[in-house]
Chains A and B, each alone.
Chain A
Amino acid sequence: MAPYHHLMVHFPIALWTVAALIIILRALSDGALARNAAAVLTPLLVLGVLTGAIAYLIGLSVFPYEAISSSPLGRNKLIAATWALAYWALLAITVWRLGDAVWEGAKRWVMLLLGVLGGGLLTVAGALGGHLSGTPSAVSQLFRLLGWEVYTTFYVPNFMLVLLVIAAIVLAGLGLVGRRS
């Protein structure tokens, strides 16, 4: 299935890359180009998530789970792909539901941040895919400079796991508090 995964990942990579650029452009500009580009953001994001999900599922069948979850690179690829898919799904839902409201006032800076983060996650997932397919790029050198050796599994210690779960609950709680206020 590897060739089909390679074929399929072009779509989410292209769609999400364009989406990230549009988000950055729209956050920085109220011009006609930015507004017109933002008008196609929702379909871009939704298509990105759909094709991303298909590429993800095909990718899972490239190697047996036992093999991919035994390799540090494989684990990293799985974690990055899962988070990227979840994150871009979040963005798609948010933009779809809220429309132009996300560009009002200071919210646009939040969107700018989300776009940059999404681009970063996409870079990580793509770079790891290159390693797995035997065509590593120099992007992993950047990760090393930032403190992550891509040949070691990305995981956090137990106290961080607890913090992450608590943070997730607090985040949802803050949202609920905000809706009532």
Chain B
Amino acid sequence: MPKKNLLNAVVALFLLMLVLSWFFHGSGVVHNDLKRNIYIPETLTLPLQVKAAYNGDKMFFRYRWSAKQPHIYHDMMKFQGGKWERYGKSVPGPQPQGIYEDRMTMLVDDGSVPEFEKYGGYITIGDRMRFFTNEAKKEEVEAHPYLGKQKKQVEVGKHLPETRANVGDWKSVVPEVQLKAQRQAGYFLDLWHWRAHRSSPIGKSDDQVIAEARYGDEGKGPFFDNWDKDKKQPKLMFDAAKVGKTALNWDDLANRKLGFDDLYYLREDQAKPYDPNHAWKEGDTLPRRVLRLGEGSRADISVQGQARWKDGYWDVTLVRAMDTGHPLDDKAFVDNRVYSVAFGVHRDAFGSRWHLVSLPKRLGLNRQADFTAARFEGAEPKWEQDWYNVTLFYPGQVSWPLLTSARHAGAENIKKGIPVRARHSEVQLAHYGVEMEFYDEIRKQWLYTLLAGVLLIVGFGIALNLLLGKKEK
């Protein structure tokens, strides 16, 4: 073959490899793997709109975000084959039958947790968290003398770094006396937790706190389990005298026939003790959670008006006393102060860690901040101010121990106190979160790609030098 043709073939082959590499790059590694608790959402970012207002007594937050459809059913028991089968517990990725509620969460701090203002929810993600690939086993947590035996925890949930002697070891909880002192010093995050099924239908939101674990505030929560472990049957059923039925129909749930104005939830005051001798028929369905108004600090937050999904968007407003009088559970809002808040949204039947979250934002009450709460007179805000736009992102399996370790090039910046927003965008963090779930695989594939590329350049160089001709004398 003439040299000229060979040269053309060499150039064409080199270019072909470049084009193919460009075309196929990034494929072959990232995939859903439920056995490893890995499920990558199709959408990695989501716009959220927020407004805040206060009147001196009450603090209002209004949230608006998109969702293809509302998910208002949650954790159901279907009568099939003569027994009650559970549908809707937390699973990796979306709940297969779509039986998992939408949720809106907001973390609040008043400056008592200084890292929160800079790094937001990342500081609450510790070692071997629930639904991480290396999550701590239930038996391990149950066996922990404080978290398991005393606090009845069954999984490692969100917690603050200084509640551990070693941030890289979830077991290393500091002494109880220190935990109490931390709490009294305000070292906790207030968690507003709105759930579309578990309490929104009765106008309530859960009120929780993050310290050495995620707890409900003191008092009674707005829901409780409807399962008798000893008798292995539901505790309660619908009271037909009050609601005209004893159970829901599974097909109505599966076909999403029940809307906001229908009965798709079980209220304590509309229930009666479960009757095992009732003529239960195939497809009868009972909610596994029972709603109640709650009591004490845990019942501080209510839904203002009605939380509704319409035309592709949720519109939810929550209200709480600015000072609840529960300083060990809640962050009191005071005029002329600045607070740090961070948001999270669960939608599309995703639960657990499959939420989209925000970076921390500064909220000002008559103070300059990222966004300000509008002061108003009267009982309800008019919401005349513009929305504050926040970008939510999928955080993946990125923990605080990782971010402060040698594996994170920005660990030194964290030591210096440089906030995350100075170095990373939400889009960037979303992609990093996904890649961290395939850390070993991607690093190996990247290294092989680097070496294969060098080899290609060497081969191309040899060919060029042999085909382009010799130096003129």
**Which residues of chain B (430-447) have a CB below 8 Å from chain A?**
431-432, 434-435, 439, 442-443, 445-447
A72 proximity list for chain B (CB < 8 A) = 431-432, 435
Decide if A174 is an interface residue (CB 8 Å cutoff): yes
Let me know if B20 and A163 touch, CB within 8 A.
yes
**B24 partner, pick from A93, A100, A156, A167, beta carbons under 8 A:** A156
Determine the distance from Cα of A102 to Cα of B28 in the docked complex, in whole angstroms.
Answer: 40
Decide if B389 is an interface residue (CB 8 Å cutoff): no
**A102 partner, pick from B4, B11, B468, beta carbons under 8 A:** B468
Decide if A101 is an interface residue (CB 8 Å cutoff): yes
**A101 partner, pick from B22, B442, B470, beta carbons under 8 A:** B470
Give per-residue flags for A133-145: 1 if the beta carbon is below 8 A from chain B beta carbons, else 0. Answer: 0100000000000
Let me know if A177 and B1 touch, CB within 8 A.
yes
Determine the distance from Cα of A168 to Cα of B464 in the docked complex, in whole angstroms.
Answer: 12
Let me know if A106 and B4 touch, CB within 8 A.
yes
Interface-side segment among B199-207, B330-338, B402-410: B402-410
Least distance between A163 CB and chain B CB atoms (Å):
7
Let me know if A83 and B466 touch, CB within 8 A.
no
Determine the distance from Cα of A67 to Cα of B446 in the docked complex, in whole angstroms.
Answer: 14
**Which residues of chain A (105-147) have a CB below 8 Å from chain B?**
106-107, 110, 113, 117, 134, 146-147
Decide if A78 is an interface residue (CB 8 Å cutoff): yes
A161 proximity list for chain B (CB < 8 A) = 448-449, 452
Give per-residue flags for B442-473: 1 if the beta carbon is below 8 A from chain A beta carbons, else 0. Answer: 11011111101111111111111111111110
**Which residues of chain A (139-181) have a CB below 8 Å from chain B?**
146-149, 151-161, 163-165, 167-172, 174-179, 181
Shortest Cβ distance from A144 into B: residue: B427
A94 proximity list for chain B (CB < 8 A) = 461, 464-465, 468
Determine the distance from Cα of A94 to Cα of B466 in the docked complex, in whole angstroms.
Answer: 9
B3 proximity list for chain A (CB < 8 A) = 178, 181
**A153 partner, pick from B24, B28, B442, B471, beta carbons under 8 A:** B442
B407 proximity list for chain A (CB < 8 A) = 66-67, 70
Let me know if B460 and A171 touch, CB within 8 A.
yes
Let me know if A164 and B446 touch, CB within 8 A.
no
Least distance between B256 CB and chain A CB atoms (Å):
35
**A93 partner, pick from B1, B2, B456, B461, beta carbons under 8 A:** B461
| Interface size class of chain B, counting residues whose CB lies under 8 Å from the partner chain | 35 or more
Let me know if A68 and B409 touch, CB within 8 A.
yes
Decide if B7 is an interface residue (CB 8 Å cutoff): yes
Determine the distance from Cα of A142 to Cα of B446 in the docked complex, in whole angstroms.
Answer: 22
Given A163-B20, A170-B459, A171-B13: A152 in contact with B1 (beta carbons within 8 A): no
Let me know if A151 and B467 touch, CB within 8 A.
no
Decide if A39 is an interface residue (CB 8 Å cutoff): no
**A155 partner, pick from B9, B434, B449, B461, beta carbons under 8 A:** B449
Let me know if B17 and A163 touch, CB within 8 A.
yes
Give per-residue flags for A67-90: 1 if the beta carbon is below 8 A from chain B beta carbons, else 0. Answer: 111111011001100110011001
Let me know if B7 and A178 touch, CB within 8 A.
yes
B154 proximity list for chain A (CB < 8 A) = none
A93 proximity list for chain B (CB < 8 A) = 461, 465
**B449 partner, pick from A68, A79, A149, A176, beta carbons under 8 A:** A79
Let me know if A155 and B445 touch, CB within 8 A.
yes
Least distance between B213 CB and chain A CB atoms (Å):
29
A159 proximity list for chain B (CB < 8 A) = 24, 28
Given A75-B446, A151-B427: A156 in contact with B21 (beta carbons within 8 A): yes
Let me know if A158 and B28 touch, CB within 8 A.
yes
B376 proximity list for chain A (CB < 8 A) = none
A75 proximity list for chain B (CB < 8 A) = 443, 446
Determine the distance from Cα of A148 to Cα of B23 in the docked complex, in whole angstroms.
Answer: 9
Let me know if B21 and A160 touch, CB within 8 A.
yes
A178 proximity list for chain B (CB < 8 A) = 1, 3, 6-7, 463, 466-467
Give per-residue flags for B398-426: 1 if the beta carbon is below 8 A from chain A beta carbons, else 0. Answer: 00000000111101000000000011000
Beyond A151-B428, A167-B456, A181-B1, 9 additional contacts (C-beta under 8 Å) are A71-B408, A90-B464, A154-B25, A154-B446, A155-B25, A169-B459, A171-B459, A172-B459, A181-B6
Q: Which residues of A contact B (CB under 8 A)?
A: 63-64, 66-72, 74-75, 78-79, 82-83, 86-87, 90, 93-94, 97-102, 104, 106-107, 110, 113, 117, 134, 146-149, 151-161, 163-165, 167-172, 174-179, 181
Per CB-CB distance, the 3 closest pairs between chain A and chain B, nearest first, are: A157-B28, A168-B459, A175-B463
Q: Which residues of B contact A (CB under 8 A)?
A: 1-4, 6-7, 9-11, 13-18, 20-29, 406-409, 411, 422-423, 427-428, 431-432, 434-435, 439, 442-443, 445-450, 452-472
- 21 A-B pairs in the complex with CB atoms less than 8 angstroms apart: A67-B406, A67-B407, A98-B465, A107-B469, A134-B423, A149-B431, A152-B434, A153-B435, A153-B442, A154-B446, A154-B449, A164-B21, A165-B452, A167-B14, A167-B459, A168-B459, A171-B456, A171-B460, A175-B463, A178-B466, A179-B467
